[in-house]
A = this chain, B = another copy of it.
């Protein structure tokens, strides 16, 4: 649902200008009269925009003198969060435009590039067209066999009936058992099966927020969440996150003190794009703040099973007040083509099951049954063991290559799980404008600015070690390095 009122256009233009240092802290914005003249806008429109920015704490109105840029919040927290972040720092470049301050709550607009990347099926591959250089997977073969079996075993009459909205009870029981093994006391009834984690996040936000509410997210953070906030008409506050230790909870706290935040989306384990894992201390403090400020905590656990050395305990395990909404999926660690995810919405459980019913009725029974049998037979655990080891080896391949062959200044973290490496290039490098050029050379890159709604991280890039670093991908990396070295 597009938002394109004049005052909103002006507002975001002004916010961008402030983020881009066109007007610095303490400086005066153009007068209302000037602005009307320059941009051919009515006085009401300009005033509306200025007053909204004032309400958001971005500018300050001084009687008889105009509107002035306020000091941006929590720069110090941000700075702290960025310290000691890079285990392979080869110089001291800063963290990229837009991540220098925590911007006030704002509507979201997401780059067309995301749509383009998804349409190319390129979310995690710099060479999506390539058909070689994939690791084989006995697990997938077994999974497909299990689904085929479920399909053959279905009574013909089954096609007359929808699955119950919450999903297959046996699959939900398998999920509950897995989480119980991870110290998270859940039962089958807690879960609702979805069409993947993206749908889980959608249901979580629909159930816990109302249009216009403010939602805190990690910055840099998953672009899928930013897209959801845009579509649901929610406002975003980006909380600085360290590529090693995840969301800066002190920064979250100061955001909570400034703004009426309704929900917080967090990926405690191996977050994309950085691979960060939330510190134990931060986990506890986050839950305390959630109680104190009555937050919905939306936990994106999609990478939780992809820890190379250990499986971090889900936040949900310590959720005393039933306000953590646990979201996950089999897409990253089993198959992106299954379209099976889950959500445990805690106190919003009833509402989420109703929303699932209303927006898609039900899920496919035979797929769930085949998957449940695969898990029950131990196929999933066996697959995960192989998968984790394979990913760890591939991470090392990519990291070593970057160390040895990337010609110029670069920073990146070495994640202990997940799929992503967060590359930081020198100031001035613009990965977003490089996207098109790379594409012409058959290479798809994932620019850093996709992971922020405030046009930050233009000098950053997400790489994924989901695939082996084949010769073809090494050539593609050379191409990228060359493109970005100018």
Which A residues have a C-beta under 8 Å from some C-beta of B? 1-2, 114-115, 118-121, 123-125, 128, 131, 134, 136-137, 140-141, 144, 147-148, 151-152, 154-166, 194-196, 198-199, 202, 206-207, 209-211, 224, 227-228, 230-231, 233, 331, 334-339, 351, 353-355, 357-367, 466-467
CA distance in complex: A361, B197 (Å): 9
CB-defined contacts of A227 to chain B, threshold 8 Å: 357-358
CA distance in complex: A155, B338 (Å): 14
CB-defined contacts of A156 to chain B, threshold 8 Å: 134, 136-137, 140-141
CA distance in complex: A111, B335 (Å): 37
Are B118 and A140 in contact (CB-based, < 8 A)?
no
Beyond A210-B1, A358-B224, whether A162 also contacts B118 by CB under 8 A is yes
Partner of A159, one of B199, B202, B233, B334: B334
CA distance in complex: A144, B370 (Å): 13
CB-defined contacts of A140 to chain B, threshold 8 Å: 156, 159
Beyond A121-B162, A151-B148, A157-B131, whether A359 also contacts B359 by CB under 8 A is yes
Most chain B CB atoms below 10 A, which of A128, A207, A357: A357
Beyond A359-B231, A364-B337, whether A152 also contacts B144 by CB under 8 A is yes
Partner of A157, one of B134, B154, B194: B134
Beyond A131-B157, A151-B147, A357-B115, whether A211 also contacts B1 by CB under 8 A is yes
CA distance in complex: A162, B335 (Å): 9
Are A163 and B199 in contact (CB-based, < 8 A)?
no
Are A125 and B359 in contact (CB-based, < 8 A)?
no
Beyond A115-B165, A161-B121, A206-B231, whether A339 also contacts B364 by CB under 8 A is yes
Beyond A118-B162, A119-B165, whether A360 also contacts B228 by CB under 8 A is no
For A199, the closest partner residue in chain B by CB is B360
CB-defined contacts of A148 to chain B, threshold 8 Å: 148, 151-152
CB-defined contacts of A159 to chain B, threshold 8 Å: 137, 140, 334-338
Beyond A121-B162, A357-B115, whether A211 also contacts B233 by CB under 8 A is yes
CA distance in complex: A365, B154 (Å): 20
Are B336 and A160 in contact (CB-based, < 8 A)?
yes
Beyond A162-B337, A211-B1, whether A355 also contacts B231 by CB under 8 A is yes
CB-defined contacts of A338 to chain B, threshold 8 Å: 159, 364
For A200, the closest partner residue in chain B by CB is B360
- Within the complex, the shortest CB–CB distance from A210 to chain B, in Å, comes to 5
Are B361 and A198 in contact (CB-based, < 8 A)?
yes
CB-defined contacts of A115 to chain B, threshold 8 Å: 165, 353-354, 357
CB-defined contacts of A336 to chain B, threshold 8 Å: 159-162, 362
- Within the complex, the shortest CB–CB distance from A473 to chain B, in Å, comes to 13
Are B160 and A198 in contact (CB-based, < 8 A)?
no
